[in-house]
Amino acid sequence: MTIMDVERPVVGPLDRTARVYVAGHRGLVGSAICRLLRAEGFTDVVGWSSRELDLRDRDAVFRRFEEMRPDVVIDAAARVGGIMANSTYPADFLSDNLRMQTNILDAAAAQRVPRLLFLGSSCIYPKFAAQPIREESLLTGALEPTNDAYAIAKIAGILGIQAVRRQYGLAYISAMPTNLYGPGDNFHPQHSHVLPAMMRRFHEAKLGGLPAVTCWGSGTPRREFLHVDDLAAACLHLLETYDSPDTINIGSGTDHTIAQIADMMAETVGYDGDIHWDASKPDGTPRKLLDVSRLKATGWKPEIPLSEGLRETYAWFLDNQDKFRR
């Protein structure tokens, strides 16, 4: 089939009776997307756990796509982790993510699924990209070594979207979220990202009456954070308004130093001890703030301030500690 054989759908409101497959529906991002879709009136939202469908198994993925015949696919599935996990298991991060996203994309193209959104990560951009980071910065410099394997997998996903558009004419798009947080996050002490790791560390220090908490690095790197419910809203907005081979950033447009984040976290948790910094541990990228002007031009902006989002996330944390991965 060539690009001329496919009638491109008109961008606009999605049919609320359409079958929407959310890959990674139990994760932080996927669960937020499912919550939003159901709240918005979608009646046929489907997903399978990794035990029910191993997305690394190409034959299994193709069979499932043939059976379910989705109208929309949102690829929020990924093997993710913080600096320690990415540094320790780079081969696993590269292999697992490449296989999962390639199988989903190829199976969707084989079934000529009309609409697909691939979600990547802001780590795709060069370590020393000009700030704020524009989408055009992709592939213009060296990556941050602590997560380069994961980043390469996500870059391959963007190019995969562009290749499918060129070859089949399908209206597939990709979006690159900034650092995310919110209800449903992974609070594992070694394999979580910075916000949930800090939240758990400060919470346990408060319960234990510890006089100080030690955080990784110098505290000087700057990071941008977006509540996962805002991301979910942005995903639906893009599926209904955006049709371009160019990837698009999703972020808040503001950032803070890691030291400022630690102070905010201590206040959120109610910890009044000291905060120490272990400069022998890696800082990662010095700054990572996304340019979100392309997204703003589509008419979307986030609604949840960081302070409010942290309070909400901590409340969820307190109510769900028995569910955390240890």
pTM confidence score: 0.91
**Domains and their CATH numbers in the chain:** 3-184+224-254+288-305 (3.40.50.720)
Give every residue of the chain whose pLDDT is below 50, as ranges: 1-5, 326
Contact 143, 152 (CB under 8 A): yes
pLDDT given at position 9 = 54
Enumerate the known binding-site residues for NADP(+).
24-30, 119-122, 154, 177-180, 193
Residues involved in catalysis: 150
| Per-residue model confidence as pLDDT tens digits over 276-313 | 999 998 887 788 899 999 999 999 999 999 999 999 99
Task: Please state the three-class secondary structure of 103-137 as a single string.
Answer: HHHHHHHHCCCCEEEEECCHHHCCCCCCCCECHHH
CA distance 134 to 6: 31
pLDDT at position 174 is: 98
Q: What confidence tens digit (pLDDT) does each residue in 146-180 have?
A: 889 999 999 999 999 999 999 999 999 999 999 99
Binding region for substrate: 201, 216, 223, 283
